[in-house]
Amino acid sequence: MKATEITILEEVELENPIFIEALPGVGHVGKLVADHMIDELDATKFAEIYSPTFPPQVLVGEDGMIENMINELYYIRDLGEENQDIIIIGGNTQSLSPDGQYIVCSEILEFLEPFNISRIFTLGGVPTGQPIENPRVLGAASDEAHIELLKEVGVEMRSNDGGIVGASGLFLGLGMRKGIYGACLMGETPGYFIDAESAEGVLLKLAELLNFEINTEKLDERAEQTREMLAKAQQMEQDLINRANAGNADDLRYIG
Amino acid sequence: MKATEITILEEVELENPIFIEALPGVGHVGKLVADHMIDELDATKFAEIYSPTFPPQVLVGEDGMIENMINELYYIRDLGEENQDIIIIGGNTQSLSPDGQYIVCSEILEFLEPFNISRIFTLGGVPTGQPIENPRVLGAASDEAHIELLKEVGVEMRSNDGGIVGASGLFLGLGMRKGIYGACLMGETPGYFIDAESAEGVLLKLAELLNFEINTEKLDERAEQTREMLAKAQQMEQDLINRANAGNADDLRYIG
Amino acid sequence: MKATEITILEEVELENPIFIEALPGVGHVGKLVADHMIDELDATKFAEIYSPTFPPQVLVGEDGMIENMINELYYIRDLGEENQDIIIIGGNTQSLSPDGQYIVCSEILEFLEPFNISRIFTLGGVPTGQPIENPRVLGAASDEAHIELLKEVGVEMRSNDGGIVGASGLFLGLGMRKGIYGACLMGETPGYFIDAESAEGVLLKLAELLNFEINTEKLDERAEQTREMLAKAQQMEQDLINRANAGNADDLRYIG
Amino acid sequence: MKATEITILEEVELENPIFIEALPGVGHVGKLVADHMIDELDATKFAEIYSPTFPPQVLVGEDGMIENMINELYYIRDLGEENQDIIIIGGNTQSLSPDGQYIVCSEILEFLEPFNISRIFTLGGVPTGQPIENPRVLGAASDEAHIELLKEVGVEMRSNDGGIVGASGLFLGLGMRKGIYGACLMGETPGYFIDAESAEGVLLKLAELLNFEINTEKLDERAEQTREMLAKAQQMEQDLINRANAGNADDLRYIG
């Protein structure tokens, strides 16, 4: 069993596509954006990626149906005003092990080499750890040109501010070493629920950057649900504080 | 030392066998079922599986005798009304590492390829975390046909309900990718003792699905012991709560 | 860099040697026995073993001198009344990773294959978790013959009693698969200091089993130090309880 | 993707260079020394080292610019009164996994073999766990000659004092096995902030040992900042104690 098994569903030719990473991560921000783009923009799946570095499990979906842990490659042709070809990587997981992260991202970039990727955008969330109003979209980039592009659309740059962990960081870092540059868009999110509001912010900045239009109504629906969850989360947070202050050791059983 | 070392004890030919996974897991539900089937249905061991991904230890059994960590393959010919050939995988362990899980399950399926497995059933427990009366048998499946089969025998489907971790999940997931479909039967169990009652529930559903008869008397004996353990567990649970409420930090030494 | 690098210091021929494992573990019981045997019985080092699976560090010994993490093979010729050749494996570490444990033990057994090892004894400690008077020597074995041998010299067998983790377990388990049998001697020890008293018990049982004489005076000296440490440990234990009962959260900072 | 990818930026010949390891570690002491030497002594970068065993992330630096996790090799020609050639390894990370540490250090030493390294110095911090006045520089060495050298410049030897973990230990240990000897200089540091004062102590001892002069003014500036951070750390420490003594379980939420 190799580190990455890639099943090609359709042989496809694309013109200098932009590569967009949107795998699950903090607040599922990237994944929400990917799922929405794939639905709304009629993306076509052309490859499936499996790896023994993914979590050793299957998921139980609708009505008891089992799903493998998977990454998937989609393409969109002629997106937006610039008729830009796009490749999106989505899925339900990332590698569990640190070296697995490097190896899988590296092998995916190798697989994509014949497509002559022009730029890389990676999408994710940046955890605030607590409920947040008006989440910002923060950015980082692997060259000056992309830093300028982000600033032009009002993305605030992170500065000397820790790391970008996982696929969102590695695709940019490994890309740099191959001479492919790009940026990471990160929506602020509390981090402990699926955050459609943060995802909408990221999606709209991406649409502005790549000059395409997209209906965010369904994301708005999900954002509404998110806001309700947010209210619940704040309540839960308060409950936790109340119980912790109740002054007995009862809660200790929930540690670890 | 390879990832999986398979020692063949008997060269055997079987007719489109059903593959049943019943390795140790939550509440040892699957393992109890396998041990009981192997005993009652006179299964024959035909291969032993070792792996450096198993826990790095031996077990001390009866009277100080040492046992290796092992998975074992058994066969049963002409089971039940449909004269169905069966392969059971049992043993005392599963891989310790996530990628070890994938690699061992994958290499076992490769080893079994010449047998032309027709279907896969995996057996396990689903943890409730607390004592439970009348544990249900829950299910999940890798195609619609098996979902229907499970429903016909009254198995309740899990829905959008997390993952199935370890061999019970991976054999189904890896099987799907080879075009071999099947289902997982999971007995509800508190999860913190060996649960024969939960195992009996799973075994009876499996017998109904595969149309064979099996004496569960010995399992009933074990179930009786289980119920006594259950009573003790409830007592222990209560003790823990009482001590935690006693209002001093004495219990802290037991964390971690 | 291979999983195990073995540097041969002396090409040596031995007659069906007994292999004794005495690497560091619980209470350093096995290591103390090995160090003492190597000193008292003039064992000769003939091979050094390095592995990237050992902890990634060096030790600082006497006067700031650096020592590599290492396993070492020694031989003793014509030990005791039966003129038995012996190979001892000692050192300052074991593999850190589970699969490293399997691979290193397996590669060492392969390296030893030309010696035609007759039997394997592994030495270690079994943790009691609290101070203990009159520590027993417990045993386990990989065949009936060795179980009988142990019982003859008054070693109490462990029964259905968990596992033997690490090299002490794996050499016996991997040996079984090659048709080489033996036993594990485990001295009871609190587990949280270097326990010479427990080591003396194990050493004397081994000497009785292999029919050789050994001066344990220096071990007695160390045992005396051990008993003083034991007194301190009991004091520390009491201190911990007192502080925990003091009723404030001060100790929480020491968790994890 | 190999365990270590080394990109050569400049083919360079050096005369029996001394190899200095100064990767990030406790208190970033080694890294501060390396960064300062590289700046002040006009070191030239000649190779970049990447590894999938590094943390799976990128760093966000000035103004949102992304940096890969990297080790870097620099050279300095004709340093000090003895016109000594030097190779320094610096960077922003070390391997995350234990065997990664061994493999990367081992492959770097192999890469450096053609340079005929004469001696190895590794630089790091030794954690005191609490604020410390007048931090000492402690030492350890892989042969007697270097122990004497360290003592001559007033470095206090560590003795029977645990291990040196990571690259600072492994380069010396792996070097020993190739017949290349050297020493480790460790500055005492609380361990929980970037400690320029500790770094200055280490740098001055190294300069004395290798007979070169270096302006430490900029390090002094950083040391000043460090002392301010030290004051803050002591305040934080006191705050933690006060909160822990406040007698309720509120702080429990911060465990883990």
Q: What DSSP letter does each residue of B43-92 carry, written as one string? A: -EEEEEEE-TTS-SEEEE-GGGBEEE--EEEEEEEEETTTTEEEEEEEES
Q: At residue A52, does pLDDT exceed 70?
A: yes
Within 8 A of D56 by CB-CB distance, chain A residues are 95, 98-99, 101-102, 165-166, 169-170
Residue of A nearest to D61 (CA): A160
The candidate with the shortest Cα–Cα distance to D72, out of D48, D101, D95, is D48
- Distance (Å, whole) CA B194 – CA C33: 38
Element (H, E) at C73: strand C71-79
- Distance (Å, whole) CA B132 – CA A180: 56
8 Å CB contact of C59 and D244: no
Residue D158: DSSP 8-state: P
Confidence of residue C48 (pLDDT cuts 50, 70, 90): very high
Average pLDDT (A207-228) is: 81
Average pLDDT (A100-114) is: 96
B220 vs D42 pLDDT, higher one? D42
Q: What is the pLDDT of residue C96?
A: 87
Average pLDDT (D136-142) is: 96
Confidence of residue C16 (pLDDT cuts 50, 70, 90): very high
D132 vs C193 pLDDT, higher one? D132
Asked if the C-beta of D240 comes within 8 angstroms of chain C's C-beta atoms, the answer is yes
Q: At residue A234, does pLDDT exceed 70?
A: no
> Residue A96: how many CB atoms within 10 A of its CB?
18
Query: B61 to chain C, minimum CA–CA distance in Å?
Result: 4
Q: At residue C24, does pLDDT exceed 90?
A: no
Contact B138, B202 (CB under 8 A): no
Across chain A, mean pLDDT equals: 86
- List phi, psi (to 5°) of D19: -100, 125
Within 8 A of D248 by CB-CB distance, chain C residues are 249
Asked if the C-beta of A54 comes within 8 angstroms of chain B's C-beta atoms, the answer is yes
Query: B13 to chain C, minimum CA–CA distance in Å?
Result: 26
The candidate with the shortest Cα–Cα distance to C53, out of A256, D106, B185, B118, is D106
Q: What is the pLDDT of residue D127?
A: 85
Please count the residue pairs, one from chain A and one from chain B, whose beta carbons lie less than 8 angstroms apart: 111
The answer to whether residue B256 sits within a structural domain is no
Half-sphere exposure of B21 (CA within 13 A, CB side): 31
- Distance (Å, whole) CA A23 – CA A33: 9
SS3 label, residue D154: coil
Q: Parallel, antiparallel, or unpaired: how do β-strands C84-91 and A18-21 relate?
A: unpaired
Q: At residue A232, does pLDDT exceed 80?
A: no
Asked if the C-beta of D127 comes within 8 angstroms of chain A's C-beta atoms, the answer is no
Alpha helices in chain C (DSSP H): 29-40, 98-112, 144-152, 167-177, 196-210, 217-245
Q: What angle do CA C49, C50, C51 make, to 5 degrees?
A: 130
The answer to whether residue B26 sits within a structural domain is yes
> Residue A110: how many CB atoms within 10 A of its CB?
14
Confidence of residue D87 (pLDDT cuts 50, 70, 90): very high
Q: What is the pLDDT of residue B171?
A: 98
Query: B159 to chain A, minimum CA–CA distance in Å?
Result: 5
Q: At residue B252, does pLDDT exceed 60?
A: no
8 Å CB contact of A1 and B103: yes
Q: What is the pLDDT of residue D26?
A: 81
Q: At residue C102, does pLDDT exceed 60?
A: yes
Confidence of residue D256 (pLDDT cuts 50, 70, 90): very low
Q: What is the pLDDT of residue D159?
A: 77
Average pLDDT (A17-38) is: 90
Q: What is the pLDDT of residue A240?
A: 46
Contact C167, C21 (CB under 8 A): yes
Q: Mind listing the pLDDT tens digit for each residue in B38-64?
A: 999 999 999 999 999 999 999 998 889
8 Å CB contact of D56 and A99: yes
Q: What angle do CA D195, D172, D126 make, to 5 degrees?
A: 25
Q: What is the pLDDT of residue D76?
A: 98
Confidence of residue D63 (pLDDT cuts 50, 70, 90): confident
The answer to whether residue B251 sits within a structural domain is no
Strand partners, C90: C72
8 Å CB contact of C140 and B66: yes
**Structural domain tally of chain D?**
1
Instruction: Assign residue D91 a region (left: φ > 0; alpha: ψ between -120 and 50; beta: otherwise).
Output: left
Contact B22, B92 (CB under 8 A): no
Q: At residue A58, does pLDDT exceed 50?
A: yes
Asked if the C-beta of B159 comes within 8 angstroms of chain A's C-beta atoms, the answer is yes
Asked if the C-beta of D69 comes within 8 angstroms of chain A's C-beta atoms, the answer is yes
Average pLDDT (D127-155) is: 93
Confidence of residue C231 (pLDDT cuts 50, 70, 90): low
Q: Could you tell me the CA-to-CA distances from C224 to C95, C188, C193, C202 in Å, in that order? A: 31, 17, 13, 16
Confidence of residue D247 (pLDDT cuts 50, 70, 90): very low
Residue of A nearest to D253 (CA): A244
8 Å CB contact of A60 and B164: yes
Query: C60 to chain D, minimum CA–CA distance in Å?
Result: 6
Q: At residue C234, does pLDDT exceed 50?
A: yes
Within 8 A of B97 by CB-CB distance, chain C residues are 98-99
Please count the residue pairs, one from chain A and one from chain D, whose beta carbons lie less than 8 angstroms apart: 109
Q: At residue B222, does pLDDT exceed 70?
A: no
Nearest CB to C63 within list D147, D241, D247: D147
The side-by-side arrangement of strands in the sheet containing A18-21 is: A5-8, A44-50, A71-79, A84-91, A18-21, A119-127, A181-189, A137-141, A156-157
Nearest CB to C159 within list B63, B97, B255: B63
Confidence of residue D232 (pLDDT cuts 50, 70, 90): low
Across chain D, mean pLDDT equals: 86
Q: What is the pLDDT of residue D166?
A: 94
Asked if the C-beta of B137 comes within 8 angstroms of chain A's C-beta atoms, the answer is no
8 Å CB contact of A252 and B241: no
Six token digits for residue C136: 């027993």
Within 8 A of B142 by CB-CB distance, chain A residues are 65-66
Q: At residue A196, does pLDDT exceed 50?
A: yes
Nearest CB to B103 within list A52, A253, A255: A52
Six token digits for residue D46: 């000649």
Asked if the C-beta of C158 comes within 8 angstroms of chain B's C-beta atoms, the answer is yes
Q: At residue C251, does pLDDT exceed 50?
A: no
Six token digits for residue C120: 């394997």
Q: What is the pLDDT of residue A235?
A: 59
Q: At residue B255, does pLDDT exceed 60?
A: no
8 Å CB contact of D63 and A159: yes
Q: What is the pLDDT of residue C58?
A: 95
CATH code of the domain in which B195 resides: 3.40.50.10900
Contact D5, D50 (CB under 8 A): yes
Six token digits for residue D187: 């500055």
Six token digits for residue D216: 């430490």
Nearest CB to D247 within list C96, C100, C248: C248
Query: B241 to chain A, minimum CA–CA distance in Å?
Result: 7
Look up tokens 């049943």; give the residue: B20
Mutation choice for D interface testing from C6, C53, C66, C253 by most D CBs within 10 A: C66
Q: What is the pLDDT of residue A256?
A: 22
Within 8 A of C254 by CB-CB distance, chain D residues are none
Amino acid at B248: N
Query: A75 to chain D, minimum CA–CA distance in Å?
Result: 26
Average pLDDT (D42-63) is: 94
Q: Which residues span the domain enclosing C75? A: 5-254
Q: Annotate A184-218 with DSSP letters as a single string.
A: EEEEEE-SSS--HHHHHHHHHHHHHHHT-----HH
Query: C39 to chain B, minimum CA–CA distance in Å?
Result: 29
Q: What is the pLDDT of residue D86?
A: 98
% chain D with pLDDT above 70: 85
8 Å CB contact of A63 and B106: no
- Distance (Å, whole) CA A147 – CA B164: 43
Mutation choice for A interface testing from B21, B26, B51, B102 by most A CBs within 10 A: B102
SS3 label, residue C188: strand
8 Å CB contact of A244 and D256: no
CA B56 from chain centre, in angstroms, equals: 21
- Distance (Å, whole) CA D137 – CA D129: 16
Mutation choice for C interface testing from B7, B65, B66 by most C CBs within 10 A: B66
- Distance (Å, whole) CA D7 – CA D234: 43
Q: At residue C253, does pLDDT exceed 50?
A: no
SS3 label, residue D225: helix
Q: Annotate chain B with DSSP letters as a single string.
A: --S-EEEESS----SSPEEEE--S-GGGHHHHHHHHHHHHTT-EEEEEEE-TTS-SEEEE-GGGBEEE--EEEEEEEEETTTTEEEEEEEES---SSHHHHHHHHHHHHHHHGGG---EEEEEEEEE-SS--SS--EEEEESSHHHHHHHHHTTPEEP-S--EEESHHHHHHHHHHHTT-EEEEEEEEE-SSS--HHHHHHHHHHHHHHHT-----HHHHHHHHHHHHHHHHHHHHHHHHHHHHHT-SGGGGGG--
Q: At residue D105, does pLDDT exceed 50?
A: yes
Q: At residue A125, does pLDDT exceed 60?
A: yes
Q: What is the pLDDT of residue C54?
A: 95
Across chain B, mean pLDDT equals: 86
Residue C144 makes CB contacts below 8 A (sequence gap 6+) with B65
% chain C with pLDDT above 70: 85
Q: Could you tell me the CA-to-CA distances from D136 to C158, D141, D168 in Å, in that order? A: 51, 17, 18
Within 8 A of D58 by CB-CB distance, chain A residues are 163-164, 169-170, 172-173
Q: What is the pLDDT of residue D230?
A: 56
Contact B37, B43 (CB under 8 A): yes
Q: What is the pLDDT of residue D33?
A: 92
Q: At residue B245, does pLDDT exceed 60?
A: no
Residue A235 makes CB contacts below 8 A (sequence gap 6+) with none
Q: Mind listing the pLDDT tens digit for each residue in D175-205?
A: 999 999 999 999 999 877 778 889 999 999 9
Residue D97 makes CB contacts below 8 A (sequence gap 6+) with A98, A99, D53
Look up tokens 């005369």; give the residue: D15
8 Å CB contact of A165 and D57: yes
Asked if the C-beta of B64 comes within 8 angstroms of chain C's C-beta atoms, the answer is yes
Provide the chain A residues 184-203 that lie in CB contact (below 8 A) with chain D: 184
Confidence of residue D243 (pLDDT cuts 50, 70, 90): very low
% chain D with pLDDT above 90: 66
Strand partners, A139: A157, A185
Nearest CB to D249 within list A160, A162, A251: A251
Q: At residue D223, does pLDDT exceed 90?
A: no
Q: What is the pLDDT of residue B127?
A: 85
Neighbour-count burial for B173-191, b at 16+ CB within 10 Å, e otherwise: bbbbbeebbbbbbbbbbbb
The candidate with the shortest Cα–Cα distance to C181, out of C96, C254, C122, C114, is C122
The answer to whether residue B168 sits within a structural domain is yes
Confidence of residue D229 (pLDDT cuts 50, 70, 90): low
- Distance (Å, whole) CA C254 – CA D4: 38
- List phi, psi (to 5°) of A213: -110, 145
D146 vs A236 pLDDT, higher one? D146
Across chain C, mean pLDDT equals: 86
Instruction: Assign residue D81 a region (left: φ > 0; alpha: ψ between -120 and 50; beta: otherwise).
Output: alpha
Confidence of residue A231 (pLDDT cuts 50, 70, 90): low
